Amino acid sequence: MNQLKTEKIDIHGIPVILVHPPIETGNPAILYHGWSSRAEYQLTKASILAVNGYTVFIPEALYHGERGALKDFYQKEDYDIFWKTIFRNMEEFPFLSDYIKERYSEKPFILGHSMGGLSVLGIGSTYGKDVKGIVSFNGSGDWLLTHLFIQARFGIYVKKDWPLYDEIEKKSPMAHLDTLKDVPIFMTNGDSDGSIDPRAQAHFYEELVKAGGKAERVVYPLLGHFVTTNMMDDGLQWMEKVRP
């Protein structure tokens, strides 16, 4: 049984699970879940962060959990909802950020897996000055390349006149390297990930480093689309380096 204090709160209409550390240290973190998941399934990851001194906010993404969860997350017809959910995570971040600013002197780390890993890089593209650092587990900062890989994975074809194409291109972290180069970023990918192809993140990382970015990336051999304890440990060690 989890002995950490956990509570559900509402921040501007966003259901959030809050996981407290054994002793409050004033170090907040926001943890974003992946596609087809939900906030309550992130408690193990959040507990690892909490026992290391972080107060963890886990927001429920739109179309997930108690926010109108889709009956089938893998219908080709609903592909646009994947990107709309990421955009919504970006739009809702200021509400979480303002809530944290009122209660903590430290900026939050933002972490996410899969869809959450894409979301945190998108958030950093717009609100980089409001975060301590970004941890992207199995995510991507090259959204157009990821868009192509997802189409190949599911056997779908979306033309460039698709209504969301321009928005993906404009909001992609690849289009905001000048902002992100000043944000500490840690990325992890499994090299056998069949869900979010790691080649997109590899390309983003290369371009970010060329732009002078403060980024680190770790690739785990033979690993698929999972967050492992090694990933969590590596992420925490990096956060401890960035936090002082």
DSSP characters for 114-129?
THHHHHHHHHHHHHGG
pLDDT of residue 176 exceeding 80:
yes
pLDDT tens-digit readout, 149-165: 999 999 998 988 899 99
Nearest-angstrom CA–CA distance, 228 and 226: 6
Q: What is the pLDDT of residue 2?
A: 62
Kindly state whether residue 33 falls inside one of the protein's structural domains. yes
Contact assessment for residue 222 and residue 191, using Cβ atoms and an 8 Å cutoff: yes
Nearest to 139 by CA among 212, 64, 75, 217: 217
pLDDT tens-digit readout, 95-114: 999 999 999 999 999 999 99
pLDDT tens-digit readout, 178-193: 999 999 999 999 999 9
Q: What is the pLDDT of residue 43?
A: 97
Kindly state whether residue 74 falls inside one of the protein's structural domains. yes
Domain hosting residue 70, numbered range:
6-242
Kindly state whether residue 207 falls inside one of the protein's structural domains. yes
Cα–Cα distances in angstroms (integers) from residue 215 to residues 21, 28, 46, 145, in the given order:
27, 21, 23, 20
Kindly state whether residue 109 falls inside one of the protein's structural domains. yes
pLDDT of residue 1 exceeding 60:
no
Structure tokens of 222? 């033979």
Helix (H, G, I), strand (E, B) or coil at 238: helix
Nearest-angstrom CA–CA distance, 139 and 114: 5
Helix (H, G, I), strand (E, B) or coil at 230: helix
CATH code: domain of residue 211: 3.40.50.1820
Domain count, the chain: 1
Query: What share of the chain in percent tops pLDDT 90?
Result: 92
Burial of 176 (0-12, 13-18, 19+ CB in 10 A): buried
Kindly state whether residue 113 falls inside one of the protein's structural domains. yes
Nearest-angstrom CA–CA distance, 131 and 30: 10
pLDDT of residue 18 exceeding 70:
yes
pLDDT tens-digit readout, 48-92: 999 999 999 999 999 999 999 999 999 988 999 999 999 999 999
Kindly state whether residue 1 falls inside one of the protein's structural domains. no
Phi, psi of 133 (to 5 degrees): 180, 170
Give the pLDDT band (50/70/90) at residue 201.
Answer: very high
Phi, psi of 95 (to 5 degrees): -70, -40
Residues β-bridged to residue 113: 137
What is the maximal distance between C-alpha atoms in the chain?
52
Half-sphere CA count of 196, side-chain side, radius 13 A: 28
Nearest-angstrom CA–CA distance, 173 and 142: 6
Whole-prediction pTM value?
Answer: 0.97
pLDDT of residue 196 exceeding 60:
yes
Kindly state whether residue 160 falls inside one of the protein's structural domains. yes
Nearest-angstrom CA–CA distance, 44 and 154: 30
